[in-house]
Amino acid sequence: MHERTRMIRAAIVGMGSWGRNLVTSVQGRSDVLRFTVGATRTPAKAADFAAAHGIRMLPGYDAVLSDPTVDAVVLATPHSQHAEEIAAAARAGKHVFVEKPLAMTVEDAARVVALAERQQRVLMVGHTFLYNAAVRRLREYITSGELGDIFYLYSQRLNLGRVRRDVNALWNFGPHDVSILLYLLDASPHEVSARGFAYLQPDVEDVVFMTATFPGGISAHVHISWLDPHKVRRMTVVGSRKMVVYDDASVDARIVLYDRGVDRVPTVDSPRDFGSFAEFQLALRRGDITIPALKFPEPLQVECQHFVDCIVDGRAPLTGGQHALEVVKVLEAAQRSLDADGRSVRIEPSPA
């Protein structure tokens, strides 16, 4: 913690289940961030909760933005409201932490990112898994080369329930996996395709299968559903040397590293620099399985501390506007593919 860190006074806007999670993860546990005021569409339901956490309720969002004691706003509001609420906060001189996704269109996302930059306000998006110790260890394995060349990744984010009416499973769960993939590979895909199926409500996909192609021929496959008998939060990375499984639902084995793979072994008559299929054999390798010990601080607390540090130091967040904009680009392209029965959609690279 920085010695010069001052208390950041924040407003919580939206006090549904996730807004309350944010409050309870901070109040009484952080000496650098404090929720002092709040606003919600259902103030009567939030009154007791707000009082118990020392939050002064204001009559609406305009009142929050005009309050001179508020340094930052934390938005836990419906996805469709994010872009306009971010823009209003930036114009009012407030720093912004907003729950994922940043916006529902690339156009809106790019607009608010540019506005926050012009206003010199911190804009950070709640892609919480990038503050997860297991995900960070997974990235270390990839960037260090321990896994070798990355062949492909696949993830499953499944459960029964949390059915939404305002967004489909892609926009509800997809931001998590897309954000993790961009972070792990330090790149954005150039093509995406997706198929989805709506079983419970017309035109609201309950299950989605998405494939993204990254530079170097790396493929990523994402299965998301809120209509499945199992709660699964798992990602597998397959490399040329080793493989690793990240299981967020596991208590004591969030990361499992497998020294397994398929090696190209030269034949008796092959030259030292063999290259053709006739000159090598494929041999299975089954080595050790390692479960590394991880220190696992609460990701939401790490994330909130990072938000404060970025405000104090004037630096860009790990999950700042540019990262969140790339996530929205992938989701928007995947939605276009859904609407076109799975046709592949190209994603134009962002300007350097």
Cα separation values, 224 from 202, 205, 304, Å: 18, 10, 27
Sheet holding 345-346, edge to edge: 280-290, 255-266, 243-247, 227-239, 150-160, 219-225, 207-213, 191-197, 345-346
The average pLDDT across 152-174 equals 96
Q: Cα–Cα distance between 263 and 338 in angstroms, integer? A: 37
Query: Which carries the bigger pLDDT value, residue 308 or residue 271?
Result: 308
C-alpha angle 248-167-61 in degrees, rounded to nearest 5 = 95
Confirm or reject CATH 3.40.50.2000 for domain 8-129+298-319, answering yes or no: no
- Cα-Cα-Cα-Cα dihedral of 337, 338, 341, 345, to 10°? 0
Closest residue by Cα to residue 320 from 149, 112, 163, 157: 112
Asked if residues 83 and 104 have their Cβ atoms less than 8 Å apart, the reply is yes
The average pLDDT across 301-305 equals 92
Residue 3 has pLDDT above 50, yes or no: no
- What are the residue ranges spanned by the domains of the chain? 8-129+298-319, 130-296+331-346
At 181 the three-state DSSP class reads: helix
Confirm or reject CATH 3.40.50.720 for domain 130-296+331-346, answering yes or no: no
Q: 2, exposed or middle or buried, with CB in 10 Å at 0-12, 13-18, 19+?
A: exposed
Asked if residues 167 and 79 have their Cβ atoms less than 8 Å apart, the reply is yes
How high is the pLDDT of residue 62?
A: 97
Closest residue by Cα to residue 306 from 191, 297, 229: 297
Residues whose CB falls within 8 Å of the CB of residue 28, separated by 6 or more in sequence, listed in order: none
User: Would you place residue 2 in the very low, low, confident or very high pLDDT band (cuts 50, 70, 90)?
Assistant: very low
Please provide the DSSP assignment of 244-285 as one string: EEEETT-SS-SEEEEEEEEEEEE-TT--TT--SGGGEEEEEE
How high is the pLDDT of residue 57?
A: 96
Query: Which carries the bigger pLDDT value, residue 163 or residue 270?
Result: 163
Of all residues in the chain, the percent with pLDDT exceeding 70 is 94
For 97-156, the pLDDT digits (tens) are 999 999 999 999 999 999 999 999 999 999 999 999 999 999 999 999 999 999 999 999
Closest residue by Cα to residue 347 from 331, 339, 317: 331
How high is the pLDDT of residue 1?
A: 40
Cis bond before residue 317 (omega within 30° of 0): no
Q: Cα–Cα distance between 226 and 235 in angstroms, integer? A: 17
Element of type H or E holding 224:
strand 219-225
Q: Can you say how many angstroms the Cα of residue 97 is from the centroid of all Cα atoms in its chain? A: 14
User: Would you place residue 40 in the very low, low, confident or very high pLDDT band (cuts 50, 70, 90)?
Assistant: very high
Please provide the DSSP assignment of 63-130 as one string: HHHT-TT--EEEE-S-GGGHHHHHHHHHHTT-EEEEESPS-SSHHHHHHHHHHHHHTT--EEEE-GGG
For 225-283, the pLDDT digits (tens) are 999 999 999 999 999 999 999 999 998 999 999 998 887 777 655 555 555 555 567 77
* Mean of all residue pLDDT scores within the chain: 93
Tell me the CA end-to-end span of the chain in Å, nearest whole number: 33
44-53, 271-280, 331-340: segment of lowest average pLDDT: 271-280
For 216-227, the pLDDT digits (tens) are 999 999 999 999
User: Would you place residue 60 in the very low, low, confident or very high pLDDT band (cuts 50, 70, 90)?
Assistant: very high
Evaluate if pTM is beyond 0.75.
Answer: yes
Residue 48 has pLDDT above 50, yes or no: yes
How high is the pLDDT of residue 265?
A: 73
